[in-house]
Amino acid sequence: MSDTVQVERQQKMDSREDTDFFGGTAQGVLSTAMDRPDGPQKVTGTATYADEDHPPGTVFGWLVRATVTRGFVTGLNTDELRAMPGVLLVLRDDRLLRNPAQGQAGRAPVQFKGEVAYKGQPIALVVAESFEQARHAGLAAKADYLDRGGKAVICPEDAEFETPKAKQSSMGDLDAAMTAAAHRLDGEWTTPSMSHVAMEPHSAVAWWEDGKLTVRASQQMLKHNVKELADSLGISPAMVRILAPFVGGGFGSKLGISHESVAAAIAARKLGRPVAVPLHRRQVCETTTRRSESRQRVRLCCDRDGVLTGVGHEVWVSNLPGETFSEPVTQSTPFTYRGENREIAHHVGRLNITCAGSMRAPGEAIGVPVTEAAIDELAEMAGIDPIEFRLRNIPEEDPSKEIPYSSNRLADCLRRGAELFGWSERKPAGTRREGEWLIGMGMATAVRVNMLQESEARVVLLPDGSARVETDMTDIGTGSYSILTQIAAEALGLPADRVTTVLGDSDLPPAAGSGGSFGAASSGSSVTLAAQAVREELAKRMGADPGELTLKDGHAIAGNTRRSLPDLLGGEAIEGKGTIKPGSNARSVRQASWGAQFAEVAVSAVTGEVQVRRMAAVFAAGRVLNPKTARSQCIGGMVFGIGSALTEESHYDRRDGSFVNRDLAEYKIPANLDVPKIEIEFLEDRDAWANPMQAKGIGEVAVCGTAGAILNAIANATGVRFRHLPVTLDKVIAALPRP
């Protein structure tokens, strides 16, 4: 066993990063389109997801769910279920009723014993020898309920709304500005509730050994998930281990622990056997988090030159009673455009339908399309080209806080995007036609706040000169295995195939996790710092300053000396620990990722069908760590945006809150023929305020402007503005004149 030298480096982002570390490294693997190291496992089916690796003796659970919208569970046909073939356990436990945690331990406790808050809420678990036996018994379950009195609230228009003070802001006098303006707009838009429908449904497999719980689950943020699960079970987080080496998508629905993990853990402890609780797609839609619907009022006004003088954005969203999360719809409105008079207002209604939570690009994903549609409409009123109107209204600093931008490349994105897309060929609204098809072009700004979260990683340079990266960061299909491998390889001067990256185990150093577009920047920065600590030790052994050291192809070079890493290590390993923490930069400068997105659509004047013919986008998001995975992220985000604009909508029975379209047969997401050619371009960009890598989030910004660009393209094609998403056939037919 070799000796190990331990070194450490920490950094808190309290100032601008004046030196670009990766601008001086020599390996040349970072920012290349390297293939995914995990790709071969995924395409050959050998990558094991949560419900694909069962310990010996595993039995299976099926969640029994409430058939009422409000009330108390007073009984269950337990004896009948226990007598059914293969049934081992019928578990009733109030801990099963907890709503999915949104990244905070203990945030959603059961208020009363047996209380039901929405139809479909898990109330029991049936465990049997086989999945089929568990499902058969679970579907035969019948609960008794006590009506607690009071009417369930299903529809947003029936809800009582709260106005949290932290989400309100005001500057100047918007009413006066609206009155005095040369051009003004006051309109209302709506967006529907949506489902995450990740490719891999939620599932968990739990077992206990020597008093310690291990759960193999589909989760995004393990360091938070451990605390949530421990809190639910009333045990120490030190006694919980979560494994999530591969996650088949999440989009926010797997940020927090939900029912299946809690249920599997409780049942496994009672039975002394591993218990797997996989969710059916319909259960996923009905019991995990949704995106809240929204009603949005936008007020804009400008002078005769098209300079904005006022911006107002007021929103109404919903969640379950007692939940603190609400969709931050207005998140980017205060800082995207100029306007000295501003009103931001946020209202939360309480509904008895499943818990609302974060969904890909929470806030901007539904807020930016609406404000971008409104900006487009005001530009039309002012007789100014939509791109020129936006260019005139890019502020020099964040107007809401009077702080500088860390980097704002919006103008560059707009100009380059117009050139890439051929914006000069755009025709006046309603004038371009090909037979029954009305053709139009539209565009929108894309903006997403940039964040940094505390994250840790370990990088071990082994005696043979290879390296291993260890952190509990997850890869939800986004490319974490790729970029962390590239970062370590670049920093240590190694070919990528000499670096092994180990992820998805909560026993490893706690990373930020996958979410909020902070995952790559945060976990990547911690890997960078860990590798820099290793470099400092190598420089010491070379008798050189770290800045004089060059690492390339497994060799260390300083001055006239060149030594192989195995020779320099002398049989030892060097273990570097890196920790990145957010600091005052988050308050002293405004950080965001920027983009401009474009769409061309064809609208049938006969059927109302909308076809997206082509899309293009230009983004500025700091250093791009891997252009291949970044491009895939952007394409995925833009496909997400097509769904938001044209197809996706969760429907609830207004009488009892039943989820109507609870599977992919009825919940319409874009299919292959709905997705056109998509061109993606990244501007050369660095943000020295963001983190040591000077990179920013890319995973969500591409969602934000897509639906707005499509809405504006439809308006250009038809001459009609649609304010209620999604723009489905019936809405188009009703708005167009008869052919």
Cis peptide before 726 (omega within 30 of 0): yes
Query: Cα(347)–Cα(538) distance, rounded to whole angstroms?
Result: 56
User: Which residue in 260, 343, 600, 700 is the catalytic one?
Assistant: 700
Helices vs. strands in the chain: H and E counts, helices first = 19, 31
Helix (H) or strand (E) holding 703: helix 701-704
If 0-12 CB within 10 Å is exposed, 13-18 middle and 19+ buried, where does residue 110 land?
Answer: middle
Strand order in the sheet with 240-243: 87-91, 122-128, 59-65, 275-278, 203-209, 212-217, 240-243
Across the strands, what pairs with 145? Answer: 73
Question: Strand, coil or helix: what is 588?
Answer: helix
The yes-or-no answer on residue 700 being catalytic is yes
If we measure between CA atoms, which residue out of 150, 119, 120, 117 comes closest to residue 322?
A: 117
Rg (CA), the chain: 27
Query: Cα(526)–Cα(471) distance, rounded to whole angstroms?
Result: 9
Query: Cα(133)–Cα(138) distance, rounded to whole angstroms?
Result: 8
Cβ neighbours, 10 Å, residue 535: 26
Query: Cα(57)–Cα(279) distance, rounded to whole angstroms?
Result: 20
Cβ neighbours, 10 Å, residue 280: 15
3-state secondary structure 611-665: EEEEEEEEEECECCCCHHHHHHHHHHHHHHHHHHHHCCCCCECCCCCCECCCCCC
Q: Where are the alpha helices (DSSP H) in 248-324?
A: 259-271, 281-287
Helix (H) or strand (E) holding 299: strand 294-302
**CA-CA-CA-CA torsion sign (131, 135, 136, 140):** positive
Contact 62, 259 (CB under 8 A): no
Across the strands, what pairs with 243? Answer: 216, 505
Question: Strand, coil or helix: what is 345?
Answer: strand
Query: Cα(319)–Cα(164) distance, rounded to whole angstroms?
Result: 13
Residues 661-684 as b or e (16 or more Cβ within 10 Å = b): bbeeeebbebeeebeeebebbbbe
Token pair for 73: 């569970």
If we measure between CA atoms, which residue out of 381, 399, 385, 388 comes closest to residue 304?
A: 381
Query: Cα(219)–Cα(244) distance, rounded to whole angstroms?
Result: 6
Helix (H) or strand (E) holding 711: helix 706-718
Token pair for 713: 């393209």
Q: Which residues are CB-neighbours of 697 under 8 A, at least 6 positions away?
A: 448, 450, 451, 516, 517, 518, 520, 521, 593, 621
Token pair for 114: 């047996």
Contact 436, 736 (CB under 8 A): no
- Using left for φ > 0, alpha for ψ between -120 and 50, and beta otherwise, residue 179 falls in alpha
Token pair for 636: 């995925």
Beta strands 240-243 and 212-217 are parallel
Euclidean distance between the first and the last CA atom of the chain, given in angstroms as a whole number: 81
Token pair for 179: 């009155």
**CA-CA-CA-CA torsion sign (110, 165, 329, 317):** positive
List active site positions: 700
